[in-house]
Chain A
Amino acid sequence: MRGLWKLILVELKLYLREPAATFFTIVFAPMLLLLFGTIYGNKPNPFFGGRGMVDVSVPSYIALIIISVGFMGIPVATAANREAGVLRRFRMTPLRPEAYIISNIASYYVMTAIGVAALVVVGKAVYGMKFEGNILSVWAGFTLGSLAFFALGYLIAGVASTARIAQAVGMIAAFPMMFLSGSAIPLEVLPQSVRNISRFLPLTHVVTLMRGLWAGEGWAEHLTEVAVLGGVLIVGIILSARFFRWE
């Protein structure tokens, strides 16, 4: 795995040099939180089970960050690197393909985690957000959700013939999911008919899992979410490996 660390470092630097990617990963969710926090505040609300708007939004927005990296960041960057011949150039070195993929995933994971940290810091500092869960559990849930959506992102990159198509597919898949899954708008606000559809969206399970763990619920109460996301992860890995192309 020679060069792996160096590559991870370089990937992170490159990520931070892309204004759009950095905005959607690190700035967008905290900004949204400030926007809705200003409008609704974070007063305990029986509608959210005695929690405030911000308390509920922070874990939901984690799903928002995950999908923006997984469906908008990864497919476009991966397809664009393939299209331009960047992957081809890497292939001409002794770098192992596994090392390339691992460094790629690691850099996206780190960036997503930084985005979550920024969101939590804003929630805590500005609104005194409540956190009743276990940090390790939340971290594990976040990791499961991230990796599942990253796998789908690589799958989109693999099946799309160009970066433009990857972008279109990612956006078309991401936007309805953002609004119907409870990640951008709390599920409680959505009418029952919409919530019936929501159940079939993988992102809804990230939202439910994150909100549950955030509120201190145990894993036993979220076996459905774990099963769905675990399934998405495994199928995603198999299919994205099957469709992955160097050129």
Chain B
Amino acid sequence: MTAIAIDRLHKSYGDIRAVDGVTFEVSPGEIFGMVGPNGAGKTTTIECLEGLRRPDEGRLSVLGLDPQRQGYELRERIGVQLQESSLPDRLKVREVMGLFAAFYRRSADSAALLEQLGLSEKAGAAFGQLSGGQKQRLFIALALINDPEIVFLDELTTGLDPQARRAMWDLVKGVRDRGKTVFLTTHYMEEAEKLCDRVAIIDHGKIVALDTPRNLVASLEAENRIVFSVEAPVDEAPFRAIQGVTRVEQSGGRIIIFGREDGLLVRVVMALDSAKIRFRDLRTEQPSLEDVFLALTGKEMRE
């Protein structure tokens, strides 16, 4: 059985086609990510799946239910973290958990959830006193309070610092490892690459690629880059001669060597050593989803 099936979803706001014929399926137990720039149609898609928005066209099935007609039944079985939502400032964390647990037929152990999310010490704190990251973790706790089969996370880590973001990734993987399906949207390519089992890249309301991050990157057949700095200009010829090197660029004391084969780094370092070239800041750059996006859409993903 598929957890989520979307067939030719269309949704427009006035003249703007927010989602334009999106089709995909999500299997149970995977972390499925939709990645794309702001305004690409990610939130509209996720909100259609949650039953918050009515599709113009197309068929949606979540856990075999129609989000529009069977919304209440569906909401018993899914957990949702919204991109924009809030709680009353004076409500305490413990009360929030107790209140939301009361809305469902089935509920998880809220003390254990707070513990897992590192919020135990904040149980007596009012929502308004929490930091951005703590609020975000509380919303994840709420998304898990009914022990849902699918968890929807919309722009989970936006506004978090890198450390909190990584902690959040571990958390989401933990949710998946407990057998739940995770459907998330993000505009961070790195997040999609490190976190998701499968990724749909969306741009202008259309899916431009869908696969595992590894396959997406491999499909590019892009080259690895070895980058380092040198004191004085060097002769590029010895590098060009290295097996697997396709191209060498040199500018302002910075050298970039492009190549594809395994073992390239070792051969480059050996060449540097035998030519007695003093270098520093050597690093390698692998192609990433960022490059996939650039190749597919012709534009940079970074904002």
Contact = CB atoms under 8 A, between A and B. Distances in A.
Interface of A: 2-3, 6-7, 10, 13-14, 17-18, 81, 84-86, 88-89, 91-96
B85 interface: yes
Contact residues of B: prevailing secondary structure: loop
Interface of B: 50, 52, 72-73, 75-76, 80, 82, 84-88, 90-91, 95, 98-100, 102-105, 142
A89 B103 contact: no
A18 B91 CA distance: 11
A157 B86 CA distance: 18
Given A7-B99, A92-B52, A85 B84 contact: yes
B90 A92 contact: no
B103 A88 contact: no
B85 A86 contact: yes
Contacts of A88: 52, 82, 84-85
A85 B86 contact: yes
Top 4 nearest A-B pairs by Cβ distance? A85-B85, A84-B86, A6-B102, A3-B102
A92 B80 contact: yes
A2 B102 contact: yes
B102 A17 contact: no
Contact of B88 (A81, A91, A94, A96): A81
A224 B258 CA distance: 89
Given A2-B105, A86-B88, A93 B75 contact: yes
Contacts of B87: 86, 89
A85 B139 CA distance: 12
Contacts, number: 61
A62 to B, nearest CB: 27
25 contacts: A2-B102, A3-B102, A6-B99, A6-B102, A7-B99, A14-B90, A18-B90, A81-B88, A85-B82, A85-B84, A85-B85, A85-B86, A86-B85, A88-B82, A88-B84, A89-B85, A92-B50, A92-B52, A92-B75, A92-B85, A93-B75, A94-B73, A94-B76, A94-B105, A96-B72
Contacts of A18: 90
Contacts of B142: 89
Contact of A3 (B76, B80, B82, B99): B99
A123 B197 CA distance: 69
A202 B56 CA distance: 44
Contacts of A84: 85-86
Nearest to B127: A86
B65 to A, nearest CB: 12
Contact of A89 (B86, B90, B104, B105): B86
Contacts of A3: 99, 102-103
Contact of B103 (A2, A14, A81, A86): A2
A89 B152 CA distance: 13
B62 to A, nearest CB: 13
Most buried by B among A2, A81, A91, A92: A92
